[in-house]
Structure 1
């Protein structure tokens, strides 16, 4: 009966959540920012290349003219542009995406790109299979957590922006739900899960806070990004506050790394408590800090490298053009990358003591009265001293 009650309660929560998301998304009225009347996309297959654009030296100049077989079996002549972002180098039998443009009774077809649908879905399926194979039940739950994260972005965060909610509060709400769902799916309802969720949320909060503080002091805002012209056009036609998107994005950038280190610390402290349940909160806190210090440096480096890698093209251009150092360190794009990486790193660093303190408190159910300063003294590096000092003061 107890398990049935929990399942019914969970089912009720899921139903209420689905109803709330449905209500939130049903009230969205998206403005027509681009005229798409008469334009549609469909899958097709290249039957024949009627005119190629390959030159004698191997380069391609101009467009290809190809014969396509559409999804309904009809064959149509299409133009295939020679571009880096649109078009493709067509060959017979190649699956492509065709764009049809209708103007009155005239219909023209253009090859938009390769058809990567099956390859993309296959890559996602392989990732989920590998995660489930190695992770077992927890791997399957991790797949469910990733799916939930995507759905929350699509059906919660973006609709909140469309309803005029400021990006940072909307990101905090979405990040909090992602943390709760991920931790619950991986760990279930436990003290370990509560400590990981609380520590991770605190780390994300401080990452966002440090980003806002740096942005205010350095006069950076969401209006300093590269695609600001398109974003301002969106802001003028919707209720989205473009200025806060930059800082909301930093919350999501740091979310994965912060949650990872929070789970590592809380799991380590929980395992130590299981093996040595007689130890006091001081010892568990110290153990969590020791584990966190080992992981903290590599996790912060991973986060900074991820941010650096996402803007690698910009760094290459700056290096090749040999821009002066004074210009580089005061350019908006470099300062934004710096803010993203270091703010996320600050969140990772502060997650360690937060999760250690929460884990030790929840597992022992009593406050740790040992002064934090004692943990940084040389004599405290001896675990026996921690136990002795904790027993004298708890």
Structure 2
């Protein structure tokens, strides 16, 4: 009896050591993969950008307002014209110097200067002439503070998975900055660049959070299928309604970029729809896959067909709110357009046939199609993949 107990304890210890070794190897592989990805992205992003605007001699610097030399405050409390202010630069080659600057009175540029206020200054030098203009309020600190609080709460509330989510979010940002944008400048079609980037983001995010499991494979597969569905739906919608990436409001600026680079600006709209639907599709795919995996863990005897039915029931509950989330997100992003159309009481035929409204509807509905299609795909993959692969 004692010898049997000894061998049992020895076997349990060996199994524990094997599991610890597997976890260690997974961590090492993950770190190596991320390092290799970052090195590749850093090399791939080494691309020469076209010079579209001459910015020679112009820099953006931080400064502090010392004194208001000429104010633009009127007797009725309104402001007209520009302020002339005295600033002390806190960055750049002229840091510490006091300089006179012009502060525009605009909604998009400039601000209302007061002594002690931190601002951003455009310093332009043309031969011996120096011009300093207040660009905006210095928002760096509050922006970085809110970003830091967000990541801190994500890690505190989410624990280890929260930390992994934060890492995945940073890698997602790097994918856009060092992969997607360089791909566009290298001549890759925006649609295909978006597909490749979305696939990489899906793999990294789901793998980091859930590891190499059937649950992660099912979620990733179904999410990618949902994203492709959103892209196909957008393409069909655009073809039927005569909408393209050349109907957007900032097409003049995009056309200028298209003439100076190899970017097909007409595809940017549809590439953006893929990215817009990616988050919602990945969310619902993970919800359904996790629910089915948990049911199988609690009741291993459940048949795949029963798991599929349960996954569909969970997906239907999430699907309605997720589709509403996408619609409301696009509605909120274009709220100014809707308010203008409502106040001006545009007639129905003008409203429904305007490019702006058509594009907003195409974005919201295409993303919702992706969400709807993801539900049965996630339920099917999470129910049947473990059976085919023989593991969870």
User: Taking structure 2 as the reference length, what is the TM-score of the superposition?
Assistant: 0.91
CA pair 14-127 structure 1, distance change in 2 beyond 3 A: closer
Residues 1-394 of structure 1 correspond to what in structure 2 (within 5 A)? 1-26=21-46, 28-71=47-90, 72-365=95-388
Residue 216 of structure 1, CA deviation = 1.1
Q: Is the 8 A contact 1:141 1:185 kept in 2?
A: yes
User: Deviations for 1:211-261, whole angstroms, at most 9, x for unmatched residues?
Assistant: 001111111111010000000000000111101000000001100100110
The alignment yields a C-alpha RMSD, in angstroms, of 1.3
Deviation per residue, 1:118-144 (Å, 9 max, x gap): 111001011111111211111111111
Question: Residue deviations 1:255-296, cap 9 Å, x none?
Answer: 010011011101100110001100110000000000000000
Contact 1:99 1:110 in 2 (8 A): yes
Q: Secondary structure of the residue that 2:45 maps to in structure 1?
A: helix
Give the ranges of 4+ consecutive aligned residues of structure 1 lying more than 3 Å apart after TM superposition: 1-12
| Mapped contact 1:270–1:363 kept (Cα < 8 A) | no
**Displacement of 1:20 after TM fit?**
2.4
Whole-angstrom CA distance in 2 between matches of 1:14 and 1:152: 12
In 2 relative to 1, CA 9–366 (structure 1 residues): closer, same or farther, beyond 3 Å? Answer: closer
Relative to the length of structure 1, the TM-score reads: 0.91
1:2 Cα offset (Å): 4.1
User: How many Å separate the matches in 1 of 2:335 and 2:22?
Assistant: 54
CA distance in 2, matches of 1:66, 1:221: 47
Whole-angstrom distance in 2 between the partners of 1:261 and 1:87: 43
CA apart distance, 1:25: 1.3
* 1:365 CA displacement: 2.9
- Unmatched 5+ residue regions in structure 2? 1-20
Do the aligned partners of 1:81 and 1:111 also contact (CA within 8 Å) in 2?
yes
Instruction: Specify the SS of the correspondent of 2:125.
Output: strand
| Alpha-carbon separation, structure 1, partners of 2:33 and 2:23 | 15
Any stretches of 5+ residues in structure 1 without a counterpart?
A: 368-394
CA distance in 1, matches of 2:26, 2:363: 41
Once residues 107 and 49 of structure 1 are traced to their aligned partners in structure 2, the CA distance between those partners, rounded to angstroms, is 19
- Aligned partners of 1:237, 1:344: CA distance in 2, in Å? 31
Assess, with a 3 A threshold, how the Cα gap between structure 1 residues 128 and 328 changes in structure 2: closer, same or farther. Answer: same
- CA deviation vs aligned residue, 1:164-185 (integer Å, no higher than 9, x gap): 1001110001001111111112
Please give the alpha-carbon distance, in whole angstroms, between the structure 2 residues aligned to 1:128 and 1:49: 39
